[in-house]
Amino acid sequence: MYQRQPGADAVRWVNVAHCDPLGLGSGLSREAAMTRLHLRRPDGTLVSGAEAFTTLWRALPRWAWLGQMLGTGATLWLLEASYRIFLIVRRGWRKA
């Protein structure tokens, strides 16, 4: 869905299931990449989870407002907690 958004051409998208290990960059294993969303910022720093989502949203014009609204403080903490719960629930969906 995000890849079809305006501004998505400025994001380098990597299919972690099929890329060369070097395509993941330093500090990220394929196993870690498969467990949750990761994003490498233009300066090379790696973020994951809710912070990765809000960073991605800020890069996409239609979603930038949401990234700004949820990307700091208590709202980011709550979003991260919700994301962790989702990841647990998702494991159950994949087994079904």
Distance CA 61, CA 26 (A): 28
Please give the residue range of the domain that contains residue 29: 2-95
3-state secondary structure of 40: strand
> What are the beta bridge partners of residue 79?
none
Domain count, the chain: 1
Over the stretch 73-91, which tens digit does the pLDDT of each residue have? 999 999 999 999 999 998 8
Distance CA 51, CA 39 (A): 9
Over the stretch 25-73, which tens digit does the pLDDT of each residue have? 999 999 999 999 999 999 999 999 999 999 999 999 999 999 999 999 9
Distance CA 78, CA 21 (A): 32
3-state secondary structure of 46: strand
